[in-house]
Structure 1
């Protein structure tokens, strides 16, 4: 089934049913469930959200590569393996330039550019600069801003107030501290996954939330856009954002029965969806 036939419908239940059916059939025949390589390989660039790095896409990337797709998972400055570069000079522009350069220097074309959470703002900026390199934009439960707005302005005032207090008290005026990592914040994640995350999450450069997104073209710059609404639990900073976006007919809207960070909590369901984009 092509994902395009599932506009404004729930992808989760259908996909889960297919996966269960495949697993049941495999068990009955004594065969292991192995992903068949795709006949039409795609190119994915997966952009992480706040506090993460390219590492967070590990399971999704492995699954997509097993199907024959090309996948890269760049990490923005100040996070992940680049956490030692954290500074007050890192801004939203820094992140956008980093992902833009990654695509250009890796000579990637027809890119399906995926942004999770805060990464949605980054991929909007990348599309504004290099639309000809892109095939589509996929916003996974992601922040979407109008030109001239910052993330601090785009999310609820109460959330921004709390973040700024944390920056002052714990982040030395440079970064937003890492949120708690537990079974309440990552529902369904086991203790091994939670420990894996605690070792890798890093403070988010506050400049990325302070700087306004400046677009020289309409949002998306002509590149087809899909919004993946993760419906298993609400994520406070995005509640109003998603309400407003859902009214716009220019988006392909897909509902996925996952939590806010499906690359962590439900990677197989997310990779199954992305493979059909």
Structure 2
């Protein structure tokens, strides 16, 4: 992102007129040439000075806001002169259990974290990121960079048959097989070590499975636009609640039958022409391009599997949910239905986020993850 001033600087306006082509141009004396160079240099210096002054004013505005206790402004406000004291620019406090509304602040990683935060005082500073169906560890690249630059430890898990994991997705026959890389990771944690488990999309069902198996190793669980199921429910059961209401999902799904067309599907892929509309409708084009060449089919058997979740294990882990209101894959109504069926400790919302906030609103997501890490033990 470069330094703060570079982030805020406007693009220089190109005022050059098209060059005129003149046959046999007259000779120019060295004196007039030197004079023109001096004039051009003087104009450039004035433009540079004006640009530096504008950058300095913008940076000073942010510094004053932070000094006075105001929080970072968002893209909907002026990038040069944000209105100080505006409620729209203030981020909500973690003590509230109401749904949150965050936009994507245009700031550096170290500015997104309160300066008084002491990582050593947290129950854990280790995040474990679990991708959704069809995704891979690659989708977290922005989140990994932001968290690590803020001093956190981050592990992004590559689930079986996902990302660069060398396994045929069509041969996955159970949820436990699919999440084996995650359960192996948790099993090998040092004695007494805890992590914050973060799941996106179908990764919500995956971290739920892990919470039931390793509750003592998980400090908090964060569901991001994720399948947050109840005991005895499958992900397919969850999606069936919106049957008939999500035409885009039905159009985008491509079922694969590795065992023959007379057998149940073995995996499901996404039609590339509908990828942006379904998963990345608010995301940058470069991230959509990355996804279009990186996503793999999702195993179908785990989607059918009903979870066995108990209060004494799964229920003992603190849960938090992050809503994505512009989501076309798991619409906000379905997210809220899951929240109402099994209320987490706290619900957050990232304003303007699509199904993939790690692309569409990476800094707002980062801010929330850090805020959740700071919530003290009950």
TM-score where L is the length of structure 1: 0.82
Residue number in structure 2 paired with 1:166: 254
Instruction: State which of 227, 232, 235 in structure 2 corresponds to 1:151.
Output: 235
Cα distance change on mapping 1:2 and 1:64 into 2, 3 Å: farther
Counterpart secondary structure, 2:237: helix
Q: After superposition, what is the alpha-carbon deviation per residue over 1:127-176, rounded to whole angstroms, capped at 9, x for unaligned?
A: 1111111110101111112222221122124569949x832579963210
Instruction: Note the 1:1-277 alignment, pairs <5 A.
Output: 3-13=93-103, 16=104, 19-20=105-106, 23=107, 33=108, 35=110, 39-40=118-119, 42-107=125-190, 109-156=193-240, 157-158=243-244, 162=250, 166-168=254-256, 173-180=265-272, 182-185=275-278, 186-217=280-311, 220-236=314-330, 239-246=333-340, 249-257=343-351, 258-277=353-372
Deviation of 1:69 after TM superposition, in Å, equals 0.3
Structure 1 or 2, whichever has the larger Rg, is: 2
Q: Are 1:46 and 1:114, in contact at CA under 8 Å, matched by a contact in 2?
A: yes
Aligned residues: CA RMSD: 3.1
Superposed displacement of residue 117, structure 1: 0.9
Q: Which runs of 5+ in 1 are unaligned?
A: 24-32
Deviation at residue 91 of structure 1 after TM alignment: 1.9
Report the Cα distance in structure 1 between the residues aligned to 2:182 and 2:327, rounded to whole angstroms: 29
Q: Residues 235-262 of structure 1, C-alpha deviation per residue, up to 9 Å, x if partnerless?
A: 4466335225237555311122111110
Residue 217 of structure 1: how far off its partner (Å)? 3.9
Structure 2 portions without partners, runs of 5+: 1-90, 373-378
1:68-115 C-alpha deviation (Å, 9 max, x unpaired)? 100000111011111533233342122343312112224382211010
**Counterpart position of 2:53:** none
**Distance (whole Å) between structure 2 residues aligned to residue 7 and residue 176 of structure 1:** 36
| Paired residue total | 262
Aligned partners of 1:249, 1:148: CA distance in 2, in Å? 16
Contact 1:226 1:251 in 2 (8 A): yes
Q: Under a length normalisation based on structure 2, what TM-score does the superposition of the two structures give?
A: 0.61
Distance change >3 Å, CA 134–CA 147, structure 1 → 2: same
Judging changes above 3 Å, is the alpha-carbon distance between structure 1 residues 241 and 266 closer, same or farther for their aligned structure 2 residues? Answer: closer
**C-alpha distance in 2, partners of 1:234/1:199?**
21
